[in-house]
Amino acid sequence: MNQEDVVQDGLTLKAARVNVGLTQKQAANGIGVSESTLLKYEQGKSYPDVKTLKKIEKLYKIPYHRIIFL
């Protein structure tokens, strides 16, 4: 799998959130982080730890390998 395949098959964190119909506030509450932390994840300014990533997978109904952190 090359980088182009990953981009085509993946979703940005924001797109994954929008696909399940959540606002940033709802998603942040569901994941257990602040809205500002979620925004940093979505902007690629910081990255979730494994425990948080598992919560994101469950809430967004998408496996971590399909999430693109920009």
DSSP 12-56: EHHHHHHHTT--HHHHHHHHTS-HHHHHHHHHTSS---HHHHHHH
Mean pLDDT confidence for 2-26: 80
For the CA atoms of 51, 56, 61, 63, the dihedral, rounded to the nearest 10 degrees, stands at: -60
Can you give the pLDDT at residue 4? 42
> Looking at the whole model, is its pTM more than 0.85?
no
pLDDT of residue 61 exceeding 70, the answer is yes
Residue with tokens 């979703």: 11
